[in-house]
Amino acid sequence: MDKILVLDFGSQYSHLICRRIREFSVFAELVPYDISFEEIQKHNPKGIIFSGGPSSVYSLKAPVPENKIFEMNLPLLGICYGHQLIVDKFGGKVKRANKEYGSSLLTIDNDSDLLSGIGQSVRAWMSHGDEAEEIPSGFKIIGHTQSAKAAAIASDEKSVYGIQFHPEVVHTEQGSEILKNFVLKICKAKQDWTMEGFIETAVEKISKIDGNVLCGVSGGIDSTVVALLIDKAIGNRLKCVFVDNGLLRLNEEKEVENMFKENFKVNFTSINAGQQFLEKLKGVEDPEAKRKIVGEEFIHVFSNFAKKEGPFKWLAQGTLYPDVIESGVSKGPADVIKSHHNVGGLPDWLNLEILEPLRELYKDEVREIAKILGVPEKLFMRHPFPGPGLSVRIIGEVTPIKLEISKVASKIVEEELIESGFYTKVWQAYAAVGDDKAVGVVGDERKYGNIVMIRVVDSIDAMTADWTRLPHGVLEKMSNRITNEIEDVTWVTYAISSKPPATIEPQ
């Protein structure tokens, strides 16, 4: 399989480069900027991309790759900081400039290869404080903006390119086409990354493991696909366990049991541990503490089950690439945004090896696999649900009242989205509740009740998200139902913060 390597210099968008390239069926992998020359040779890439990053090339601690990488005669594309690295490495000059964040008009000066078919000008997303003052000998300017005269440069002889803007973000018009030009036309990579191929490879790898596998299933698409892949590979050596932790959607425990026993017919056990989880969460307000408590309690439950029903060698989980990135355990220098119970919160005493078949996939790729495996559309189009459950949608301490409010209000939000035809058009939707209260009037009487926050977002891969502009009529119906049907609620608000700076979940 042809591969593009993306060297991560710490940009918040690094992972999106891989995501965009995979959209046109070429495998792209994110690796640390200081990967050795020998490791790169083992990957045998068709081309290399330097990501952006927060550093300056003239900083004492500026991240730089091995010099031999520049001598590999492979096509090379530098983005933002990567562009400045190329300018500096090949003898040009980089200077401090007025910070430029946001959309700029990119004028195309040469459309022969990298910018082929883009048009005369496009809006491009800028995020930089340095820029090229002098381009290296042998390079030419192929695009400029009003503030950056060398916003895109090229060396045809070396197949080396630098662009000051970010083609990987949706704010850059034709950004995917620019990446496609580099990957398909310049690197000549084959489009052989398919989910059918992934299934075949994953099943083959899993079939070679020894020992039995314990798989925690939640009813969500990720753990369901993991279970079906492993079942396809090892059959009876898989045991699926569903833990009702008391933090699930309304009536979810019954739906999950019916689905696995009747639809998929895999080896399945359900464990009611709700009281156990809620006891552990008593008095805990810090969101990271809640995540880790839920994660560790999951492992306790699985570990106890494994001792009774084992032996098991493996614990399978539905970890996805965004989980890995946000938990700060990816291959690049990403900051920790939040821990996830299946990557960041595993305790040291765990006596099972971890099996994560989907670890390098994005959500929409998992949905494609689900479709191929015959998962009902109702399930694979279901909105993502956090591993720690409603504990991260309840701000502050998890209490029975707040838990019930969150369950019922979220169900109302989902029902109204389905009724209005918006459910499959948005990425995720739910209702959250905290400790804030407000005065309302119910039946001509003053009432001091809870405030519910509705959160609905649009996204492609959950790494960035924008709040959904729902029609006012839909919001009005949600609000009316929540305040009428839930006794303890007096106000309903709508969250209009995007990610970044916010995250999708409130905690």
Catalytic residues: 80, 166, 168
CA distance 277 to 27: 40
All residues at 6 or more sequence positions from 387 whose CB lies less than 8 Å from its CB, including other chains: 218, 291, 294, 295, 340, 341, 342
Rounded to 5°, the CA angle 483-291-244 comes to 70
DSSP 58: T
Among the listed residues 505, 435, 495, the one whose alpha carbon sits nearest the alpha carbon of residue 468: 495
Alpha-carbon distances of 76 from 5, 113, 126, 378, rounded to whole Å:
10, 13, 20, 43
For 108, the token pair is 């195309």
- Which residue type occupies 333? P
Give how far the C-alpha of residue 404 lies from the chain's centroid of Cα atoms, to the nearest Å. 28
**Please, are residues 75 and 48 in contact by the beta-carbon 8 Å criterion?**
yes
CA distance 162 to 148: 13
DSSP 127: E
**Please, are residues 117 and 177 in contact by the beta-carbon 8 Å criterion?**
yes
- Which residue type occupies 58? Y
